Amino acid sequence: MLSNMRFGINEIKTAGLLGLLSGLLVLGGYYLVGNEQGLIIGLVLAAFSSFGSWYYSDRAALASFQVQPLTQADAPELYNMVSSLSDRAEIPMPKLVVIPTQAPNAFATGRDPEHATIAVSKGILEVLTPEELEGVIAHEMTHIKNRDTLTQAVAGTVAGAITYLGQILSFGLLFGPVSRDTRQGQNPFGFLFLIVLAPLSASLIQLAISRTREFAADLGSAQITGNPTALANALEKLETISHQIPMRGNPTMVPLLIVNPLPRKGLQALFLTHPPTEERIRRLMEFAQQQSLTAAAI
């Protein structure tokens, strides 16, 4: 009951944050141009950003980490595991690729469950037990099933477009609004909004979306495998080792990973793409306790 309630709240929260992010882009277009034509520009940017991220995000993510094909002959046990979990999650079996690094991590990408890919690093295949790896794979499958791969791509692209609008203004590529009766210099709030407030707000909203989806995927993994403790143990291992072995790739793709490999010190902690691993583990263990109480009551 509690887990279903959390899932519903997460969905509402994500939808609200995406709407707020798109609203920032539309408002940014208005301030950049200086009149109602800017609203249209913002809407067009939001539409094109969403479509581009929907169709091309998986290619960008896979290229960023220089993944390599992983055949069934290469890893028959992994293929059997993924096939079984796909049946339990009621989604098509995703493609499998390997990230050529010892840094232990994994991610899922793709515009929908029919075009999904799960990437696992060489390191994660070596450090996790089969049960722990199953928990990680089920976590990524939940992202696919919930279409989080699309949500994250849209959020990242729209946030990037908002930042780009601010860069246009700050570098002087656009010197004034379209209308003659309005001047950029007469609206200092619009200037401040585009240069500072909008990009900062977009980044924070993007991070909030990412953190919300991670909690939901952890819960989904626990429900698919019936073993929340396995994922909790995996997260504990990954949190420790991922900071010892750096993960190379485009930093903008970090929200896709199951754990954030970047350090969290000082102000950096405010801009982490993932919720604290300790909190994720706590929630999983709470779910495991619920399972035990329910089993004992039957």
Q: If you ran DSSP here, which 8-state letter would residue 98 be given?
A: E
Find, among 25, 24, 33, the residue nearest to 174 by Cα: 33
> What does each C-alpha distance from 108 to 9, 28, 237 come to in angstroms?
23, 31, 20
- Active-site residue, from 132, 140, 214, 239: 140
DSSP E strand boundaries for 84-134: 95-99, 106-109, 117-121
Count of H-run helices and E-run strands, the chain? 10, 4
Check if 140 is active-site: yes
Question: Could you give the CA distance from residue 190 to residue 280 in angstroms, rounded to a whole number?
Answer: 39
Question: Could you give the CA distance from residue 8 to residue 197 in angstroms, rounded to a whole number?
Answer: 30
Find, among 270, 111, 135, the residue nearest to 204 by Cα: 270
Beta-ladder partners of 107: 119, 257
CB 260 within 8 A of CB 273: yes
What is the arrangement of strands in the sheet containing 106-109, beginning at the earlier edge strand? 68-69, 95-99, 117-121, 106-109
Active site residues: 140
